Structures are given as C-alpha cells and as structure tokens.
C-alpha cells in the first residue's frame, strides 16, 4: 500500500525508509536506519523532486503513482545525482516516458555517466537563479556546489516558501511515521545522528555550506524539505544555528573528548586518570571513546561538538596504533580546526606514537597542541602525577 504523506494542499512526501542497511555509503553505521525523501508537487504541471535509493524503489513507485492520482509526470527535478537519490531515475524515465528532467549542466553529464537513456532529448537545463513555473507555483533553482557533490542545487518554491534542500539539513535515522522534526524529540534523540551525518558527509565543505547559508539568509523559509530525515516547519532557526556552528568549525559544547587506543589497558588507564582529574578541575560532560570500539564516524562527530580534545595511543610497528591513525587522518580530511588538543603516548620500547600523532595534527589548521606531552612507558606511574596535573591545567586554563 502507498505510504504517502500530504505536506501541503498539493505537495506530498513519497519517499521510503531503510532499516536493513548496515552501512550508509558502505561506510557509516546507521543503527537507526535512514530515510530517502522524495516529493511530488501536483500543480497544473506535476513535478517529482529527486528520487530514492534502489533499496526502497518498490515503495517509492507505489507512492508516486498514488500521489499522481492517474496524472502523467511532467517534470523530474534532479537536485543531486548521488545514487541514494538518483538510482531510480532510469526507471522513472521508463514508467513516465514523457517526463522532462530539470537539471543543471553538471548534473546532465552525471546522468549520462550513470545511465544509458537519451538524456539530451528529455532534459531542461537550468542555470543558477532560473525559475520554472508549474501553474500556481514558481520554483527557483539555487546552486549549492559541494553540498555534497559539485552538481548539487536546491529548489526554492517561492509560492509556499519551501526549500527543497537536497542533502543539506538531512540526518541519518528512518522516519517512523512522524514526518516533521517538531513531532519527534529531535534535540535528544536525533541531534547526535544529524551531527554525525553532517560532519561525516559534508564536514569537509564548511566554506561551501557557509555560501549556501548566506543565500538561504536572503529568502523567507517556512519549511525545509531535505532528502534525508524529518522535515522542518518549526524552530528552523535552531537547526540553522547548528549548521552555522558546524560549517564554521565552532564547537557547540565547552567540554573535553578523550579518544584513546589501548592494547592491554594501560593507555586506557592513563585516559581514565586524566578524565578523573579533568572532572576534579570542574570539566563537565567529559566524553571518552575507545577508538577500537566506537566507530570513527561517531568519534569524528564528537570532535566537532566539543572544544578540547585528547588523543592517547600506543606505539605500533614503530608508528601509531592504526585505529588512532585512521581517526586523526579522518579529522584532517574533514578539515576540523579551532581546537585545543593534548597528546599522550605509550610504548614499552622505542616510544614514538606522539611524534606520529603530532605529525598529522600539525598539518591541521588552528589546532593548538598543549604541553606537556605525556609519555607512558608501559604503565602510568605515581611519579607522573605532576605531569598529568600539568596537562589538566593546560586544558582548563
Ligand atoms: Fe544523500 Fe549526497 O546523497
């Protein structure tokens, strides 16, 4: 049966949910699933805004058919060509052979790369700021390169003041009947996944997200319809503020995150001792993760959240414990900056983990590495109490 949700008089959600997929992009664990949102605008002309991932195509086509209510499909607007939204374009063209694809020049090239149908004969190419009138509605196309691919654009319905924002303002998490962010406990139950989605998927492109936020600030927005997760119709400013922080690498919380790697528990012990002393010094809500246990996407997201970070790791093969190296390289790849960082290393002989951690951290922008750098020789000793206190002082002063 169809699972269509009516959003406005002539606007329908026609997406689908996947709670089976273990890894989004075959990389990010999604225990809460994911939604692929798609929308039908049933004006004098009918419009489909993006499609869905192959995994939910059955539900999607049933939804589209219901929303169209026997009418033909006039336009498919392709805001983003990543296959989680574009994989079913080929089948849309087969089912609705008269459909016109509305896309920009970069998108057209990508459609040709992914598909074999005749693209040119059925495409309406749009440029930044172009509009499409569908009857009551006028849709404006605003380019949003690298949020999250170079071809991305967003579509603004000037009639109902709705922003179809592509990946922007999306989140991991399947929609469990409730379609709107104001119908769920977003701040407590969804925000960590929204942050993890943003930081891992577009975290690297803060400058480009800033450019989109500046464009968004010039238009009146009553609703944001993203391609993943709930729709925003209330408290939009609160979520825009999160995007403002994330895209400027501004921490949300004044706290410390300790990420450690530990083989036999001795580096963990050093991390626990430091955490306890940080708490004694008044630091609240300290977060601590074993990088061999917690997925790197979660640790990265937490590094975006707080303002102070500690990395503690053993030496391994004359270098750095691989899981810690992966984390630090991932933080660097995502352009994390503006953080105060402490480094602790361990080793039984030829200790060199800190040297390797610093080599990565020092290539990152606006990362202040505090002293002292703690070196544990096999196990932390009482004689190192002063050293640990000095790290606490450096992180808290
Ligand atoms: Fe949800 Fe960049 O695709």
Structural contact between residues 56 and 250, judged by C-beta atoms closer than 8 angstroms = no
Q: How far is the CA of 165 from the centre of ligand 1 (A)?
A: 11
Q: How far is the CA of 254 from the centre of ligand 1 (A)?
A: 31
Q: How far is the CA of 155 from the centre of ligand 1 (A)?
A: 15
pLDDT per residue over 357-382, tens digit each?
A: 999 999 999 999 999 999 999 999 99
Q: How far is the CA of 25 from the centre of ligand 1 (A)?
A: 9
Q: Which domain holds residue 295?
A: 254-396
Q: Select from 247, 279, 299 the last residue of a domain.
A: 247
Residue linked to tokens 């995007």: 243
CA angle 90, 91, 94 (to 5 degrees): 95
Same domain, 137 and 92: yes
CATH number for position 28:
3.60.15.10
Residue 184, token pair as written in the block: 């769920």
Total domains, the chain? 2
| Atom number, ligand 1, closest to the C-alpha of residue 170 | 1
Across 90-113, average pLDDT:
98
| Atom number, ligand 1, closest to the C-alpha of residue 228 | 1
Q: Which residues contact 97 (CB under 8 A, 6 or more apart)?
A: none
What per-residue confidence (pLDDT) applies to 138? 98
Q: Name the residue with the closest Cα to ligand 1, atom 3.
A: 82
β-pair partners for 367: 339
| Atom number, ligand 1, closest to the C-alpha of residue 201 | 2
pLDDT per residue over 272-314, tens digit each?
A: 999 999 999 999 999 999 999 999 999 999 999 999 999 999 9
Same domain, 268 and 339: yes
Ligand 1 pocket at CB < 6 A: 80, 82, 84-85, 148-149, 167, 227-228
pLDDT per residue over 208-239, tens digit each?
A: 999 999 999 999 999 999 999 999 999 999 99
Same domain, 132 and 240: yes
Same domain, 291 and 265: yes
β-pair partners for 246: none
Q: Select from 214, 247, 280 the last residue of a domain.
A: 247
| Cβ density class 337-350: b for 16+ within 10 Å, e for less | eebbbbbbbbbeee
Q: Name the residue with the closest Cα to ligand 1, atom 1.
A: 167
Cis before 148 (ω within 30): yes
Nearest one of 55, 6, 60, 15 to 38, comparing CA atoms: 15
Q: How far is the CA of 159 from the centre of ligand 1 (A)?
A: 26
Taking all residues of the chain, what is their mean pLDDT, rounded to a whole number? Answer: 98
For residue 382, count other CB atoms closer than 10 A to its CB: 5
């Amino acid at each position: 049966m169809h699972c269509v949700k009516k959003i406005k008089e002539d606007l329908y959600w026609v997406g689908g949910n996947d709670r089976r997929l273990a890894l989004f992009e075959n990389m990010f664990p999604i225990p809460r699933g994911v939604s692929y949102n798609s929308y039908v605008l049933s004006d004098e002309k009918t419009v489909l805004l993006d499609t869905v991932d192959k995994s939910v195509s059955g539900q999607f086509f049933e939804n589209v058919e219901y929303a169209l209510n026997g009418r033909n499909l006039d336009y498919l607007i392709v805001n983003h060509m990543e296959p989680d939204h574009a994989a079913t374009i080929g089948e849309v063209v087969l089912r609705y052979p008269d459909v016109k694809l509305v896309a920009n020049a970069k998108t057209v090239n990508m459609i040709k790369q992914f598909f074999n149908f005749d693209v040119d004969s059925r495409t309406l190419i749009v440029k930044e700021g172009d509009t499409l009138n569908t009857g009551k509605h006028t849709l404006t196309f605003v380019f949003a390169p690298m949020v999250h691919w170079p071809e991305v654009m967003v579509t603004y319905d000037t009639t109902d003041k709705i922003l179809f924002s592509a990946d922007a303002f999306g989140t991991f998490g399947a929609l469990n009947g409730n379609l709107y962010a104001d119908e769920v406990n977003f701040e407590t139950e969804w925000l960590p996944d929204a942050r993890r989605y943003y930081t891992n998927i577009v975290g690297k492109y803060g400058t480009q997200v800033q450019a989109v936020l500046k464009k968004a600030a010039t238009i009146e927005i009553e609703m944001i319809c993203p391609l993943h997760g709930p729709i925003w119709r209330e408290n939009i400013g609160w979520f825009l503020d999160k995007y403002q922080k994330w895209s400027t690498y501004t921490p949300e919380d004044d706290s410390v995150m300790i990420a450690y790697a530990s083989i036999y528990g001795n580096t963990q012990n050093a991390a626990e001792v430091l955490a306890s002393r940080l708490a004694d010094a008044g630091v609240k809500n300290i977060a601590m993760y074993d990088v061999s246990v917690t997925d790197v996407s979660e640790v990265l997201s937490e590094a975006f959240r707080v303002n102070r970070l500690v990395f503690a790791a053993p030496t391994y093969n004359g270098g750095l414990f691989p899981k810690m190296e992966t984390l630090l390289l991932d933080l660097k790849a995502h352009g994390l900056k503006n953080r105060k960082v402490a480094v602790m290393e361990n080793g039984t002989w030829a200790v060199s983990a800190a040297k390797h951690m610093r080599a990565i951290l020092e290539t990152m922008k606006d990362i202040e590495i505090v002293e002292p750098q703690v070196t544990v020789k096999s196990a932390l000793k009482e004689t190192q109490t002063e050293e640990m206190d000095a790290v606490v002082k450096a992180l808290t002063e």
